[in-house]
Amino acid sequence: MKSRPFTQIDVFTDQAYLGNPVAVVLDSEGLSDEVMQQFARWTQLSETTFVLPVSAAAKAQGADYRVRIFTPGAELPFAGHPTLGTAHAWREAGGQPQHADRIVQECGVGLVTLRRDALSKAWAFAAPPLQRTEPSPDELNSVCQALGLERSHVLRAQHLHNGPHWLGLLLDSPETVLALSPDHSALKRTGIKVGVAARYMAAPGLIARANREARAFARNRSTTAIVHDADLEVRAFASAIGIPEDPVTGSLNASLAQWLMADGVLPSHYTATQGAALGRHGRVNLTQEASGQVWVGGHAVTCITGNVSL
């Protein structure tokens, strides 16, 4: 064991403790798969990342660092908030990208590019390519039953693969999304991670949402919640990999944007909010270029710095 620099970053928020935390071990050379997995179980965060030198082939293609991403139960080829959080931690630790206008991360899905948004100044990652398939009626029935959801509330459904695999459900209203109280044991038995979302259609819905969020924050914080408008309400249930509900999920928001923009449900730029049911207030910015590339961005805040013995 040796002392290694360690940091914990809150992602998709500009106010600490309202986003989704990721633990980052900044010097992971020499760690075995077993040790990484054991430490990820110990942190009990949705993801823990381990920063490593890039491979020679990836460096030749512009990669700046390599990252491995673990949940408490398994390794992931890619995940959104760990990508933004690891890049934030790497920069703060003195990392210098090969190119001043971007960072290139090597991970299980290959190379992922990050850039700074000109307006928000937050960093964003290029969403990996998406593969979509239709769920079977039996899959959809099992998931809806585990969610306690009537099929009539489901407007659209797709299996979404961009490294991680999500079953995406577009529901009829944000109220339906926020009212869900899943049977997490039943969801785990399906073996499927589920992302649910619904559009905010008009100002009255935003006002109702503001009131609900204020109540949600009041249960968890002594301060008054700052409420912002958004276009999409999102929740992510990942009992299949040991995470009942993820506070704010980059990979899911990426695949939802690729799906719903392609189908004309959402415009080429919108903002999603996630985490209200857990007393969080994550904000995810989604933008699609003319080429079709979707960028997923959000702020990140450092909460813990120190060293860990591994």
Residue 259: its pLDDT value, please?
98
Q: Looking at the structure, do residues 255 and 113 belong to the same domain, yes or no?
A: no
Same domain? For 52 and 190 the reply is no
Residues whose CB falls within 8 Å of the CB of residue 226, separated by 6 or more in sequence, listed in order: 15, 281
Token pair, residue 301, equals 């805040």
Closest CA to 205 of 173, 247, 177, 176: 173
Q: Is the pLDDT of residue 218 over 50?
A: no
Evaluate if residue 38 carries a pLDDT over 80.
yes
**Does 222 lie in the same domain as 208?**
yes
Burial class of residue 136 in the structure, from the number of CB atoms within 10 Å of its CB (0-12 exposed, 13-18 middle, 19+ buried): exposed
Residue pair 254/266 in contact by the 8 Å Cβ criterion: no
Average pLDDT over residues 180-188: 97
Mark whether 158 and 277 lie in a shared domain: yes
Q: What is the pLDDT of residue 262?
A: 97
Give the gyration radius of the chain's Cα atoms. 19
- CATH number of the domain enclosing 79: 3.10.310.10
- β-pairing, 131-133 with 123-126? unpaired
Q: 128-137, 165-174, 207-216: which has the minimum mean pLDDT?
A: 207-216
* SS3 letters across 240-259: HHCEEEECCCHHHHHHHHHH
Quote the pLDDT of residue 14.
95
Map tokens 């209203």 to a residue: 173
Q: Are residues 165 and 263 in the same domain?
A: yes
Q: Clarify whether residues 120 and 187 are in a common domain.
A: no
Task: Indicate the number of domains in the chain.
Answer: 2
Question: Is residue 92 domain-shared with residue 54, that is, in the same domain?
Answer: yes
Do 168 and 284 fall into the same domain?
yes
User: If residue 199 lies in a helix (H) or strand (E), which one and from where to where?
Assistant: strand 194-199
> Do residues 111 and 142 share a domain?
no
224: pLDDT strictly greater than 50: no
Q: How far apart are CA 197 and CA 271, in angstroms?
A: 12
pLDDT category at 114 given cuts 50, 70, 90 is very high
- The strand pair at 194-199 and 20-25 is best described as unpaired
What's the pLDDT score for residue 228? Answer: 47
Least confident of 36-40, 229-233, 273-277, 292-296: 229-233
Mean pLDDT of the 148-166 span: 96
Of the candidate ranges 201-205, 250-254, 289-293, the one whose mean pLDDT is the lowest: 201-205
Integer Cα distance of 115 and 123 in angstroms: 6
241: confidence class by pLDDT, cuts 50, 70, 90:
confident
The residue segments making up the domain with residue 255 are: 131-292
DSSP state of 225: P
Tell me, what's the pLDDT at 8? Answer: 98
Write down the pLDDT at residue 232: 97
Predicted confidence (pLDDT) per residue in 65-92, tens digit:
999 999 998 999 999 999 999 999 999 9
Res 222 pLDDT > 90: no
32 and 147 housed in the same domain: no
Q: One-letter amino acid identity for 170?
A: L
Do residues 116 and 169 both lie within one domain? no
Domain match, 221 and 107 both? no
